[in-house]
A and B are shown apart, each in its own frame.
Chain A
Amino acid sequence: DIQMTQSPSSLSASVGDRVTITCRASQGIRNDLGWYQQKPGKAPKRLIYAASSLQSGVPSRFSGSGSGTEFTLTISSLQSEDFATYYCLQHYSYPWTFGQGTKVEIK
């Protein structure tokens, strides 16, 4: 199975900060990775697909990069509505696996 190691597990940031979250795959997954945002009590929402493509309707302050084993989600200027938990998901091979999640909290 492919392990997805996501870091950090949590972070505190202020509105306007630049935030970076990383996922490392235990083996190469090309660019078969998505990033998801989840708010408490709600279903996840996809932000990024194919590692770096912005989902329609998602603000441009979100961006993704990477290929192979190392991937990054960046929020260029954190907004109040961005405080949530973020997950990566690899769909390169079965079983599909999520990262452990990163909780972004208000400093």
Chain B
Amino acid sequence: EFQLLESGGDLVQPGGSLRLSCAASGFTFSSYAMSWVRQAPGKGLEWVSDIITTGAGTHYADSVKGRFTISRDNSKDTLYLHMNGLRLEDTAVYYCAKVGTSGIHLWGQGTLVTVSS
């Protein structure tokens, strides 16, 4: 069965850094692009970033460009999101998601990032 398991969410001070991980199982991870999507408390969904199968191509939302870096290790079936310069408005549940030819198909359960002093 397909599964995506996020980890790494934590309480961090403004300006701090954090690395999220997403462990994939049940499918051939290296064959799929992957995304991160976030949801601030009580708010809607916001697409954050994605990465192609090889890791050679990435895209970012303007709100995180230059601060966040998406990466993947296909030998470990794991997706990462490196977050630097965290702001209060980055507080959210972060979901990793599997991307098919018709967009986002499968979601993880999410990990909570709280940015607060």
**What residues of chain A have their CB less than 8 Å away from a CB belonging to chain B?**
1, 32-34, 36, 38, 42-46, 49-50, 53, 87, 89, 91, 94-101
B57 to chain A, nearest CB (A): 11
Task: Report how far A49 CA is from B104 CA in the complex, Å.
Answer: 9
Question: Are B110 and A94 in contact, CB atoms less than 8 angstroms apart?
Answer: no
Question: Are A87 and B45 in contact, CB atoms less than 8 angstroms apart?
Answer: yes
**What residues of chain B have their CB less than 8 Å away from a CB belonging to chain A?**
35, 44-47, 50, 59-62, 95, 100, 102-105, 107-110
From known contacts A94-B59, A95-B59, infer whether A49 and B47 are also in contact, taking CB-CB under 8 Å: no
Contacts of B103 in A (CB 8 A): 32-34, 46, 49, 89, 91, 96
A52 to chain B, nearest CB (A): 11
5 other contacts beyond A45-B107, A96-B50, with CB at 8 A cut-off? A34-B104, A38-B45, A43-B108, A49-B102, A100-B44
Question: Are B102 and A98 in contact, CB atoms less than 8 angstroms apart?
Answer: no
- Chain B residue with Cβ nearest A44: B107
Question: Are B109 and A43 in contact, CB atoms less than 8 angstroms apart?
Answer: yes
